[in-house]
Amino acid sequence: MELLKHLLSCGRGPFFVVTVGTFALLARGEPSLAVLQTTPQASAQPAIAQESRVKAAFVVKFTQYTTWPAAAFESATAPFVIGIIGPSSSIADFEQEARAIAGPRPIEVRLVTTPEGATRCHAIYISKADSRAEENWLQALRANPILTVGETDRAIEYGAVIRFVTEGKKIRFEVSRPAMERAGLKISSDMLRYAKTVHNKPEAQP
């Protein structure tokens, strides 16, 4: 069964483990978000490919617990757009996870290469492969209603709403409340309670 189907099917209840290759997503209750941990099982796929897929599942899941202002969409049936800044190879992972979501809007996944293209998205994931340009991207997008997800140590400072955090063999996430509010977004308290840290201090100004 696909990772996201596991994520979506898990409700309130006891501790559970969802495994994809050498990785397991660990959480308690709802939503199915908290810790990504390596496990000793062998995998035919490289660990980096597995990590890419699980991060894609996280980002897609984040969007299900976030509310955008109505003005962010052209119409009630306009697609929800996730932009990827990084290797084009990760597009397939996001598309696979997006197909598992049944919602009122179709989800489109796009590779983003320009600030103009990024402003047409509702969520942006900046992979660590493009980390050198992360600050520039986040500064360019800070005035838009976009759920930005970064990976560098200073992503929150630069203006990201969410940052992936690696702790040894675990991956968790942090949330910036000031960045969320500046973007006009609302993140569910169910998701916030699984964040490693919810930052309340304003991020650095450009």
Q: Is residue 8 part of a domain?
A: no
Sign (positive or negative) of CA dihedral 201, 183, 102, 189? positive
Residue 191 clears pLDDT 80, i.e. is over it: yes
Q: What CATH number corresponds to the domain at position 90?
A: 3.40.50.2300
- What is the residue range of 73's domain? 47-199
What's the confidence (pLDDT) of residue 206?
Answer: 55
Cis, peptide link before residue 79, omega less than 30° from 0: no
27 lies in some domain: no
pLDDT at 168 over 90: no
Q: What is the pLDDT of residue 80?
A: 93
Q: How far is the C-alpha of 49 from the C-alpha of 71, rounded, in Å? A: 36
The DSSP annotation for 129-170 comes to GGGGGHHHHHHHHTTSS-EEEE-STTHHHHT-SEEEEEETTE
Say what percent of the chain tops pLDDT 90: 44
Confidence of residue 205 (pLDDT cuts 50, 70, 90): low
Nearest to 194 by CA among 5, 4, 3, 7: 7
Say if 204 falls within a structural domain.
Answer: no
Note whether residue 205 is domain-resident. Answer: no
Question: How far apart are the C-alpha atoms of 147 and 132, rounded to whole Å?
Answer: 20
Q: Is residue 53 part of a domain?
A: yes
In a domain, 30, yes or no: no
Residue 57: predicted pLDDT = 86
pLDDT at 77: 87
The least confident of 24-28, 81-85, 92-96, 129-133 is 24-28
Query: Is 97 part of a structural domain of the chain?
Result: yes
Distance CA 149, CA 84 (A): 10
- Could you give the CA distance from residue 37 to residue 170 in angstroms, rounded to a whole number? 4
Opening angle at CA 199, ends 195 and 33, nearest 5: 10
Contact present, 82 and 64 (Cβ < 8 Å): no
Across 4-154, the runs of DSSP E, i.e. the strands, are 16-20, 23-27, 35-38, 66-67, 80-85, 107-111, 123-126, 147-150
- Beta pairing partners, 23: 20, 38
Number of domains comprising the chain: 1
Note whether residue 2 is domain-resident: no
